[in-house]
Structure 1
Amino acid sequence: MPSNTLPVVQVKPLVKGSPAYEAERVSLLEEFAAKVPDSLRLPIELINNPPKNVTNVPQQCGLLTPEELAITEKYDATTLAALIASRKLTSVAVATAFSKRAIIVHQLTDCLTEWFMDDAIEQAKHLDEYLQSTGKTIGPLHGVPISVKIHLPLAGHFSEVGFSDTRVKDKEDCHIVAILRDAGAVFYCKTNQPQAIMHLETVSSWGRTLNPHNINLSSGGSTGGEAALLAMRGSVLGIGTDIGGSIRGPSAFCGIYGFKPTSYLVPRKDFVAGGSIPELGILATAGPMCGSLRDMDLFMSVLLDSKPYLVDPRLVPIPWTGLKSLPQPKPLKIGIMMNDGAIVPQPPVMRALNWAAKKLKASNNFSVKTFEPYNTAKAIKNIRLAYWPDGGNGIKKHLAASGEPLLPLTQWIIKDAEGPELTPAQILAQRLERDQFRCDFASHWASQDVDFVICPAFVGPACEHETSFYWNYTAFWNYVDYPGAVVPTPIKAGKKGAEKYAADAPAPLSKEDEHVRQMWEEGDFEGAPINLQIVARKYHDNDLFAALEKMQWVLELP
């Protein structure tokens, strides 16, 4: 890469596009680099020879003051909001600290697509002046810095819908951003996403986002830039989106909190410029990615307390009670799904499931039993077809327009649906089959006699680059449209070869299961965090948070 771009850590080369595309990509990277002062650039020796785990570099690099380290490391968003409101911290100090840390994290993980520290400080100044003159905050997020996934429109900044030819500068905020801005949030960066916004690995024109815990692993996708930034405390609260695991997958890969609400609960107006073909069959939703349970709750309360359904009548007007929901009957009935009937999770995930089951069984607040999976293979086949009713031809048109290369994981996700565009009757048939599956699964859930399900978030820990093939454990819940949160555990993957499948593990359940076992034997996942996923029935989002509040101390959730 030319010297007038910002050097970032790279571990695997990108697929090259046409000369015109590559020239445009360099131009974008030069535009980005021009805003980064020398005082915030890491030594090139570090970029060229990084440690496998880069999470400690921001603390050790000397580019942040002790105060900035404290601001970015000691507090969650809830605490920052309180400290700013009480004038113990200024909005400017907080915006400066997170902006500086974000650009450091970017050089180590390639997580950003845009960085605008000056804009953030200017916005923060106005907030400080307002608080000083009135004694009041703008709203519950006054001065809290929030990072934004690139495809969500943010006034005055660039968005794209997963292809370089769709990049535009937006004149207005999308609905969800506008609500957060009205609540006092400060915006300072936009984060990377994959081509087509449809991989569980984040690779784009901007580069490949790395997992901070082990840079040879994926940060996940499609909200992988957010996940890497949050894991390294370059952000305290981010906006993710999810149509197949795009909040839960990267959050789990990077060891942070993430929540996928039921569809049409959270604001979606102007969510994706021009709409999204996959949403003809499966609705995406937005949700929080962050470092604490109460920050997920704060994000949801700010959005839903604004009564967004008055602006967008598609939304279901359910008030948010979240962690403050009324106590539920004791004990809560928890189903543990050890595998989905198609792929047995890799050893560290099984260890985390057994850890959680033991913890919950030891508490009088929970009744724990096995949850039997339901027809996962059919759900995953159907959702892969439903994502691309145009046969994948829209993707190919975008790529042809710019010379952008078709990435391997894009080819992987469209391969089952490639072909002629479906007719309206065929799309209707897909939807009818989906709806029948949802009814059948609701009956299955009832037959299991559980309130909530705990299951893996992925087939293993964060996967090696270019191997995020199997989304079963997240995409299934998109197909049935159930809300799910992923939460960190104390468990991490050990050194290569240190952990094997259990002797009593079932024989491979499928050829995909065989492949997952092979990848475990061959891969190096050292240091990767393990999250678990907790799921509730459709539109039981408040009940899910009430259950998380009960689980908080048992499962050691910060």
Structure 2
Amino acid sequence: MIAKVSHPLVLPKALPQGSLEYETKRASLLDAFWEKVSTEYYLAQATISNPPTNVSEIPRNCGILTPEEIKITENFDATGLAEALARRQYTAVAVATAFAKRAIIAHQLTSCLTQWYMEEAIEQAKQLDDHLATTGKTIGPLHGVPVSIKEHIPMAGTFSSQGCFGSIVKDEKDSQMVGILRSLGAVFYCKTNQPQAIMHLESTSHYGRVLNPFNIHLSAGGSTGGEAALIALHGSVLGVGTDIGGSVRGPSAFCGIYGFKPTSYTLPMKGFLASAFPAELNILCSTGPMCRSLRDMDFFMNSILATKPHLLDPRLVPIPWTGLRTPATKRLKIGIITNDGFIDPQPPVKRAVSWARELLSDPKHTGIFEVKEFKPFGAADAWSKIRRMYWPDGGKGSKDAITATGEPVHLLSNWIWKDAEPAGMQTATAVSLQRAERDAFRCAFAQSWEEQDVDVVIGPAFIGPACAHDTAFYWTYTSLYNFVDYPGVVVPTPIKAEAKEEYGADYLPLSEECKHVKQLWGASNFEGAPINLQIVARKYDDNKLFAALSILQDVLSLP
């Protein structure tokens, strides 16, 4: 049953209700969003009231986009679009118009946006067109390329929030990353939805619940879920996400796109949050691109790092970026992760791992790859540690900020600080001891990796495909690599979840959590959800990771 609302939004599952005062203010916030949207961009009421489970084809077929706008939004990745703009195949205005229109269509289907500013984007694009016409030169490598930005990342003249209604602020200046993108010629036209507290693997916030385009009864992931849904629906060609537990990789995997979490302090995050985030005392966040192709991740990394952001943020490690151009100097040793010893993945993920293993084990590749089994060290232990270390204040700061305005605390918010809450506010000594605990684990993990003798590992990006709403409980396959601070990329596969797919007869649970994951599988329909795999390298081996990707590209058919 799809709920009826005053705004044209598909709503298969309502959000929890807060106080009357909060709901009144929230309604005003959403009304202000829709005041900027012309009704000519509204989808038919029949589509909103009775949508298909898979809404991915609606933007192309709804009649709102012109044939040229469909071509602009569907036929290019960011690299190709930048090239087309530079050779004047399209104007920046035409491109900004196409993506702004497609973004608002995507929003009606998935609640992926928090802000939308078509007029401002077109004005910025006009200035870029004028510059190109006058000088014959582009502003930079991203000249005219529309870039979508995650909600909490400050952008001058727009609003941001730290995952609750009471934290909304108007930003007067760009964060460092946004400023760099602007200087490179990027056009900004929207910001994208994220979870309450920015710490779920499902994006449900005061702006709405983000839906998966391929199955609206599933999550688009989090915390960068709005970006993932928007890119999957071709409403964006390139987006910026952040990742402290899987927040780039999880949603990218849920929605079948590319996402890259670099080693921490590789890309600039200066000014990303209005106040310090206690989790980063021990778990470091990273920022990275979400996009449609392997080369776009490389294009993004090269473009940003070429500006030498470390000169303004001394926390950054100025490792030169060679990316896909990094030479492979030896036979690549690849570890295949069937499971992490803690939670056995759901059936379609196991099929995807088998698909990759079979391709890579083909005898014709023996001179290029050495394929072996790999077992991640201490996955259950890492999950326990990271759940405590995220919240050195016991979650009190986030909970108090949420409830101060009468906003309801969402189910997954309570879940994320559940393990840390009983201990309450930690002392400086306790936090220091946690760091020692973390570092001991990192050393043991590195030793295990070395003993298993691999260059990269390939395995699940999540315990299953996109999860049903309000069930994103276990991020073990991504958070492990935040804990040890290893770079990871998620890449699409041709595998999709099938109807009535069952666990194998030989299934044996690895833990109580593993049993729960099997129960979750039986409780929902995951049909049509895409499956990604995750490829990981050692800390600071980001370039070597991309060297491996350049070798794997043809074998795994990665565009």
Coarse TM-score class (shorter-chain normalised): over 0.9
* Residue in 1 that maps onto 2:544: 543
Using the alignment, how far apart are the partners of 1:304 and 1:200 within structure 2? 28
1:283-335 Cα offsets, whole Å, 9 max, x none, are 11100000000001111111111111000001001111101112231x20000
Using the alignment, how far apart are the partners of 2:266 and 2:204 within structure 1? 29
1:335-374 Cα offsets, whole Å, 9 max, x none, are 0011000100011001000100111111231110000221
1:109-151 Cα offsets, whole Å, 9 max, x none, are 0000000000000000000000111111110000000000000
* Residue in 2 that maps onto 1:378: 381
Paired residue type of 1:149: K
Using the alignment, how far apart are the partners of 1:191 and 1:478 within structure 2? 23
Using the alignment, how far apart are the partners of 1:212 and 1:171 within structure 2? 33
After the TM superposition, which of the residue ranges 424-433 and 397-406 deviates more from structure 2?
397-406
* Residue in 2 that maps onto 1:337: 337
* Residue in 2 that maps onto 1:526: 527
Using the alignment, how far apart are the partners of 1:279 and 1:219 within structure 2? 25
Closer/same/farther in 2, CA of residues 2 and 441 from structure 1, 3 Å limit: closer
* Residue in 1 that maps onto 2:208: 207
Using the alignment, how far apart are the partners of 1:297 and 1:455 within structure 2? 21
Aligned length: 554
* Residue in 2 that maps onto 1:225: 226
The correspondence for 1:488, drawn from 492, 509, 513, is: 492
Contact 1:328 1:546 in 2 (8 A): no
Secondary structure (helix, strand or coil) at the match of 1:15 reads: coil
* Residue in 2 that maps onto 1:356: 356
* Residue in 1 that maps onto 2:442: 438
How far residue 3 of structure 1 moved from its aligned partner, in angstroms, is: 9.6
Which residues of 2 match residues 26-425 of structure 1 at below 5 A? 26-329=27-330, 331-362=331-362, 363-364=365-366, 365-419=368-422, 420-425=424-429
In structure 1, the gaps of 5 or more residues are: none
What is the RMSD of the two structures over their aligned residues, measured on CA atoms? 1.2
How far residue 465 of structure 1 moved from its aligned partner, in angstroms, is: 0.4
Secondary structure (helix, strand or coil) at the match of 2:469 reads: coil
Q: TM-score, normalised by structure 2?
A: 0.98
Using the alignment, how far apart are the partners of 2:77 and 2:353 within structure 1? 27
Q: TM-score, normalised by structure 1?
A: 0.98
Contact 2:145 2:185 in 1 (8 A): yes
* Residue in 2 that maps onto 1:503: 505
Contact 1:4 1:30 in 2 (8 A): no
1:219-256 Cα offsets, whole Å, 9 max, x none, are 00000000000000000000010000000000000000
Secondary structure (helix, strand or coil) at the match of 2:211 reads: coil
* Residue in 1 that maps onto 2:453: 449
Contact 2:279 2:392 in 1 (8 A): yes
How far residue 5 of structure 1 moved from its aligned partner, in angstroms, is: 5.0
After the TM superposition, which of the residue ranges 274-283 and 434-443 deviates more from structure 2?
274-283
How far residue 280 of structure 1 moved from its aligned partner, in angstroms, is: 1.4
Contact 1:5 1:26 in 2 (8 A): no
How far residue 4 of structure 1 moved from its aligned partner, in angstroms, is: 9.3
Secondary structure (helix, strand or coil) at the match of 1:68 reads: helix
How far residue 392 of structure 1 moved from its aligned partner, in angstroms, is: 0.9
Paired residue type of 1:517: K
Using the alignment, how far apart are the partners of 2:461 and 2:383 within structure 1? 15
* Residue in 1 that maps onto 2:556: 555
1:482-511 Cα offsets, whole Å, 9 max, x none, are 00000000000011x1x2222333x10101
Contact 1:5 1:29 in 2 (8 A): no
Paired residue type of 1:379: A
Contact 1:243 1:283 in 2 (8 A): yes
How far residue 31 of structure 1 moved from its aligned partner, in angstroms, is: 0.2
Secondary structure (helix, strand or coil) at the match of 2:131 reads: helix
Contact 1:4 1:33 in 2 (8 A): no
Using the alignment, how far apart are the partners of 1:13 and 1:237 within structure 2? 29
How far residue 268 of structure 1 moved from its aligned partner, in angstroms, is: 1.2
How far residue 522 of structure 1 moved from its aligned partner, in angstroms, is: 2.3
Q: Aligned residues: percent identity?
A: 61
1:450-495 Cα offsets, whole Å, 9 max, x none, are 1001110000000100110000000000000000000000000011
Displaced runs of 4 or more, over 3 A: 1-5
Contact 1:491 1:529 in 2 (8 A): yes
Using the alignment, how far apart are the partners of 2:115 and 2:7 within structure 1? 12
The correspondence for 1:466, drawn from 446, 470, 475, is: 470
Paired residue type of 2:50: N
Secondary structure (helix, strand or coil) at the match of 1:402 reads: coil
* Residue in 1 that maps onto 2:11: 10
Using the alignment, how far apart are the partners of 2:230 and 2:267 within structure 1? 23
Contact 1:52 1:216 in 2 (8 A): yes
Contact 1:5 1:33 in 2 (8 A): no
How far residue 7 of structure 1 moved from its aligned partner, in angstroms, is: 1.9
Using the alignment, how far apart are the partners of 2:45 and 2:96 within structure 1? 26
